[in-house]
Chain A
Amino acid sequence: MAQEVYHEAEPAKASLLYDPKVRGIAFQVILIALLVLGIWWIVDNTIVNLRRSNISTGFGFLRGRSGFDISDRMIDYGSDSSYGRALVVGILNTAVVAISGIITATIVGFLVGVGRLSNNWLIRKLAMVYVEVFRNIPPLLVILFWYQGVLALLPNVRDSFALPFGSFLNNRGFYFPRFVWGDGSWLILAGLLAGILLSWYVARRAYARQMATGQRFPVFWTSLALIVGMPLLGYFLGGLPVSMDFPQKGTFNLTGGTNVKPEFLSLFLALSFYTASFIAEIVRAGIVGVPKGQTEAYSALGLRSGQGLRLVVIPQAMRIIIPPLTSQYLNLTKNSSLAVAIGYPDLYAIGGTILNQTGQAIEVVVIFGIVYLGISIFTSVLMNWFNTKMALKER
């Protein structure tokens, strides 16, 4: 009957004050109340302040005439266009910097990262110097260094440096020939698409055949031939529709061709080389993180070191590399807002101009938040998908 006695004994009633559950709820209620009060206070102040400075709220201003011009743009835009269109120009420019920077930084970063592990003493030391120099200097400083220290000192148009392939370099930027797509150019694009589809099919068939019979098929060379050959075929079938527009040197200006402005060049160079130094360290850590036994195992299986790297080490290193690589990509995208320091019209710079003209501080900040958070979330989702694809497939 001891049990009954046990049941009868009431647990000592502690004061409600010491019940963790009650405390938790009370704490949260107080926190939310304080937060609501704070927000109410802020909103109230903001409304008063806005009324005093005669600023109407809302996103209606986006339809207004902007009245300023943008030098670097991907889509049609003039000073008569709306603020909304100006923001789109800015978003596209941010995307251009981010994408080109990410591609360059990844390539340079992988090369330097592998170089830091090279058996070659000189290469190893050079890679180390590169990493230690670039990652310890603020990117904004590097941007300004390129812009004011190097590119501004290039000769003017009349004395521009002539580079191979009919391109020029001067203090107005980098000029290079442009393709002019005539009628029938769509055949080239169609050829490229067909080439990619065919090589994908070939790769699948070759894999199936190797699994079934053990015979191998030179997939790489076939795909290369297909991807290069099909567009070429389209080019000839379309009747040679593509011509080149070379930049022509005039007295005061270069006409024709494509012009990359010094603002873009400085931003692109600084951001991609800065980020590359971080990517290099990530790549190095990833490769070092693959146990040595894996290297020994692939040698024991008779793979050559190139094959071993490609089939055994890199896939495992990628698992370590991808998460920090994602955050570097995001950092680069966010750092592209430094463009404002040298007047490259990215989202942040254009938003700042609009704010100065209209005084719509809150709306502009909301737009910044939405766009940058959107880019962050999009990149994270994409890289997470890639990460799950590369992740360890366990039973």
Chain B
Amino acid sequence: MQEHDMSWVRTEMTLAQTAPRSQVGPGAWIRRSLFSTPTDSVMTILAALVVAWALPQILNWLFFSAIWSGADRTACLTTEQGGQLPAGWSGACWPFVTSRFGQFMFGRYPLEERWRPILTGIIFVALIVPLMIPRAPFKRLNAILFFVVFPFIAFFLLVGGAFGLRFVETPLWGGLLVTLVISYVGIVTSLPIGILLALGRRSKMPAVKLLSVVFIETVRGVPLVVVLFMASFMLPLFVPPGVTFDKLLRALIGVALFSSAYMAEVIRGGLQAIPKGQYEGADSLGLGYWQKMGLIVMPQALTLVIPGIVNSFISLFKDTTLVLIISMFDLLGVVKQNISGDPTWATPQTAKTGYVFAAAVFWIFCFGMSRYSQYMERRLDTGHKR
């Protein structure tokens, strides 16, 4: 009989070896994520070529060949066009933006009164920042101030005509001021109207349901331009002769109606996702309709659709540019007006520069909103999702 006194089980740990060179490190990363298959390699090379061709041109245009100072159009013209720059030059003409910056922000708002929109802006930021930070205290008070008190302050500050402030009629407003006013009013009015419409659409009362459906589907079926068109051409027909509507007010009504129809559909999605048991639970507690909706259903439904709500805010913000078509001057309108109607800065590069600037402003706002909504979504995620 043979004895095996050799242990086949290792009794001590081997020392950990470093991972093979082919698996870790920058080389492996490059191979794995850029050249894993022949097709991949071809695509990487093509994409890299495109980037190498486009990126320097874009950066050059934006920064390196751009003109940063100047008094008028001659600063941004090539020798052929009557300026100093070498032939074939192409770059941004930033002094156009800096010299018109005040207009881009406030339109034709009187110079000596511009502290009023600035003050409004400061109050706005001071109220919205704590509202957006989840840990900041006094949420309820803050929300009341932002949604109920602030509109009145802003109205008196911007319009004036009371408390010793000069009256500034709305045709003088313009630029980012108008963009923000329309977006704010659209957002603040569309949420409650949208909630009512969504509830109406799910109501058991046939007349209420029919009216909500007809309103929502009609408004959603036509472009915002048509709604604005109706608001600006037909509203004056609907009121008794002699009553005139402010043009900005007409645009605001159009935008509010339009966005509330979209908001209603977003909120309806949230309502549909609430299980029937929640409604029945509320009923069995003896809550009335508004208590049931306000205390049980809506808080859950709105939390569910926060991404959708913010998405409609973002599209509303982008849609404010459409007031240009009923000849009002929001940020894009003022930029366009300065590009096509002002000979002081008429150069081939002006249009591109102006629109790139406006695009950057819009982009920052929209991107900020979408990132904030992603953050809120993660925060409010109750773990019910798959």
Contacts and interface: CB of A to CB of B under 8 A. Distances in A.
Interface of A: 24, 27-28, 31-32, 35, 42, 45-46, 48-50, 52, 119-123, 126, 132-133, 135-142, 144-145, 148-150, 152-153, 334-335, 337-338, 340-341, 348, 352, 355, 361-362, 365, 368-369, 372-373, 376-377
Given A119-B36, A141-B321, A148-B339, A28 B207 contact: yes
Contact of A368 (B229, B238, B340, B351): B229
Which of the four size classes fits the interface of chain B?
Answer: 35 or more
Contact of A362 (B218, B237, B336): B237
A150 B225 CA distance: 25
A145 B322 contact: no
- The DSSP consensus for interface residues of chain A is helix
Nearest to B39: A120
Interface in B336-386: 336, 339-340, 348, 351-352, 355-356, 358-359, 362-363, 366-367, 370
A340 B221 contact: no
Contacts, number: 153
A365 B33 contact: no
Give the 3 A-B residue pairs with the shortest CB-CB distance, closest first.
A136-B366, A334-B223, A149-B352
Interface string B23-62: 0000000001110100010011001101100000000000
B229 A365 contact: yes
Contacts of B238: 42, 45-46
A177 to B, nearest CB: 28
Given A138-B319, A138-B332, A145-B352, A126 B229 contact: no
Contacts of A135: 366
B172 interface: no
A316 to B, nearest CB: 15
Interface in B192-219: 204-208, 211, 218
Contact of B44 (A120, A140, A362, A373): A120
B233 interface: yes
A157 B251 CA distance: 41
30 contacts: A32-B207, A46-B237, A49-B241, A52-B241, A120-B33, A121-B33, A126-B51, A133-B363, A136-B318, A136-B366, A136-B367, A138-B318, A138-B332, A140-B332, A141-B321, A141-B332, A141-B355, A142-B359, A144-B355, A145-B352, A145-B359, A149-B355, A335-B223, A340-B325, A348-B226, A355-B233, A362-B234, A365-B233, A369-B222, A369-B226
Contacts of A352: 229
B32 to A, nearest CB: 8
A149 B351 contact: yes
A120 B352 contact: no
A141 B229 contact: no
Contacts of B339: 148
B239 interface: yes
B295 interface: no
Contact of A341 (B206, B223, B324): B324
B233 A361 contact: yes
A144 B211 contact: no
B207 A365 contact: no
A334 B319 CA distance: 12
Contacts of A355: 233
Nearest to A333: B223
B208 A28 contact: yes
- The DSSP consensus for interface residues of chain B is helix
Nearest to B355: A145
Given A341-B324, A341-B325, A28 B205 contact: yes
B240 interface: yes
B359 A337 contact: no
B41 to A, nearest CB: 9
Contacts of A50: 237
Contacts of B240: 45, 48
Interface in B232-257: 233-234, 236-241
B44 A122 contact: yes
B153 interface: no
A302 B229 CA distance: 59
B82 to A, nearest CB: 17
Nearest to B36: A119
B123 interface: no
Given A45-B238, A122-B47, A148 B33 contact: no
A170 to B, nearest CB: 15
B89 to A, nearest CB: 13
A150 B90 CA distance: 12
Given A145-B352, A338-B322, A122 B48 contact: yes
B241 to A, nearest CB: 6
Contacts of B241: 45, 48-49, 52
A144 B287 CA distance: 54
Given A352-B229, A372-B222, A140 B324 contact: yes
Contacts of B208: 27-28, 31
Given A45-B239, A341-B324, A119 B33 contact: yes
Interface string B300-320: 000000000000001000110
B230 interface: yes
Interface in B284-310: none
Given A341-B324, A348-B226, A376-B221, A24 B237 contact: no
Given A31-B208, A140-B332, A369-B218, A337 B223 contact: yes
B207 A368 contact: no
A338 B223 CA distance: 9
User: Which of A28, A140, A365 has the most C-beta atoms of chain B within 10 angstroms of its own C-beta?
Assistant: A140
A365 B230 CA distance: 7
B367 A120 contact: no
Contacts of A337: 223, 225-226
B257 to A, nearest CB: 14
